Structure 1
Amino acid sequence: MKFFIDNWFLFLAAATSGGLLLWPLLQRGVTGPKLSPSEAVMLINREKAQLIDVSEPAEYAAGHAAGAKNVPLANLETSGELPKNKALPLVVLCPTGARAARAVGILQKLGYENSRALAGGFAAWREANLPVEKSAA
């Protein structure tokens, strides 16, 4: 007990650094779990989920999931491209999945509570041999 009292600042520093290490994990949990490509397909087929690609227009034109709507992350809050029915499930993707996770947080603040990111993004979609489209240049 004397050791703890004499070195309380070391224990405080250890607890603080541990909390800072766990913070990103806790933040990821706020946006909800990510979907695998097969889970995304089941959600699309069973619940009529819509694919929202938050890539930049040039990235989207180079290749995107078939049927995905392009709503760049920067335009997400002001876009008229999002479905009017906020109860409709949304599967959000981008090239790697990083922007999609941020987009889910924004969408949930906008009232789209049933939105989830695709784990691995478009790369995982393509790897799963799911349909891909390219926009006409």
Structure 2
Amino acid sequence: MPETSDTVRPEAEPDYDRLLRANLERVFNERDAGRRAAALAELFVDEPVLYEPADIVRGQAAIAALAGRLLDQFGPTFRFTPVGPAVGHHGLGSLQWQAGPDGGPVAVTGADVAEIVGGRIARLWVLLNPPGL
């Protein structure tokens, strides 16, 4: 009689570091709207949801527009930079980051936490650290 187990074998884990770093670089640091849209189509599910502290953004086009507005708002040298590798398991990954002008002081720090479905970002939470952290 075969042994039974309550343990379920998980599917292969996605490459959290590659996916979340690509999101920072190819979506939130990308100033060309066409390249940003192409990256979103590759990295995100068809109907993703992004949770910001003060808003919920639904759909690839809306996320692309948000990223473009952020880059326009903060100036031509503003960029997001990963801090350490992304970590994750069971479809949930996180990446710490900092942002500010190239060569300038860090203006904001935080983390992206993503639910990954089928190797693509389905939901993304943007968590901002309090100033000074």
Identify whether the pair has TM-score above 0.5, normalized to the shorter chain.
no
Q: Which has the higher strand share?
A: 2
More helix by share: 1
TM-score scaled by length of structure 2: 0.29
Task: Name which structure has the greater RCO, CA cutoff 8 Å, separation 6+.
Answer: 1
